[in-house]
Amino acid sequence: MADDRPPSLPPTEPRVVVVTGAARGIGLGIALAFAAQHDAVALVDIDPAVTKVAGELQDDGVEAHAWVGDVARREDVERCLDEVAGRFGRVDVLVNNAQAGGNPAPLIETTPEHLELAWRSGFVGTFTAMQIAFPHLRATRGCVINMVSGAALSEPPGFSAYAATKSAIKTLTRIAATEWGPDGVRVNAISPSARTPALDEWAGAHPTDYAARIAQIPLGRMGDARDDIGAVAVFLAGPSAAYITGQTIVVDGGVHHLG
């Protein structure tokens, strides 16, 4: 019987992985997880600090390069992806992690500016990056990994703009997987929960609330951005996940589930 599986990269050839929102937190953790696999990582962030992060990774022997840009601006996304493809000659993995506007507010108090920030940085940025990256990913039979949130699964009060944005990204993931499957491009999403600098700051200011949050996690701890979330991203981009597409993988210690 003929083997019609897509060709995979030779074990010694690194992938080219683009991670948005990579200056810190989960985005950085995902980039570090791919770097540990000897992949080349392109770090994209609106924060110029991403340049320093890339330099530190280079000092550690990682092939890392930074692009400063706003994913809400199509011209910035085009520039970043064109330059990544020009430098490396290919794009194998796109991780859409960038998201702003996660500060809670009741729906009635959510301002147009807050809604616009959440929607454009999250959904529009993800949609745009996927569109622009598609020709590169089709050429390499690559994959997309989008980041959603437990807020899109449990719809907590106070997160209308953020949760709606993440829910839209989850739906976009499924649609793209259906449309792009014939081209060999897989599209999945991760719903993560992990320690980040922002979470640590919040925990320091609200220790009682943080302890209550930990108590709700069956595994009894927050995830690690690299070892827990990043490891799943590496798996989804690898050959062991070659038959997985259109899925949202919940990586939050057991708080939420898709049934």
* pLDDT tens for each residue of the chain, 259 residues long: 444 544 444 444 789 999 999 999 999 999 999 999 999 999 999 999 999 999 999 999 999 999 999 999 999 999 999 999 999 999 999 999 999 976 778 899 989 999 999 999 999 999 999 999 999 999 999 999 999 987 556 666 667 888 899 999 999 999 999 999 999 999 999 999 888 777 778 678 878 888 888 888 899 898 999 999 999 999 999 999 999 999 999 998 988 776 5
Is there a domain that residue 81 lies in? yes
Enter the pTM of the model. 0.90
Structure-block tokens of residue 217: 């996690």
Amino acid at 158: G
Is there a domain that residue 209 lies in? yes
Residues with Cβ within 8 Å of residue 138, at least 6 apart in sequence = 180, 183, 184, 185
- Single out the residue of 51, 73, 64, 57 nearest to residue 18, CA to CA: 64
Catalytic residue among 162, 163, 222, 251: 162
Is there a domain that residue 131 lies in? yes
| Number of domains the chain is built from | 1
* Residues 229, 111: Cα–Cα separation, whole Å: 31
Is there a domain that residue 56 lies in? yes
- Expressed in angstroms, the distance from the first to the final Cα of the chain is 36
Is there a domain that residue 220 lies in? yes
Q: Is 162 a catalytic residue?
A: yes
At 2 the pLDDT is: 43
Cβ burial 11-48 (10 Å sphere, 16+ → b, else e) = eeebbbbbbbbbbbbbbbbbbbbbbeeebbbbbbbbee
Helical residues (DSSP H) of 9-149, grouped into ranges: 25-35, 49-59, 74-88, 112-119, 125-140
Domain that holds residue 25: 16-249
CATH code, domain carrying 89: 3.40.50.720
Is there a domain that residue 103 lies in? yes
Is there a domain that residue 175 lies in? yes
CA 78 from centre of chain: 18
Is there a domain that residue 9 lies in? no
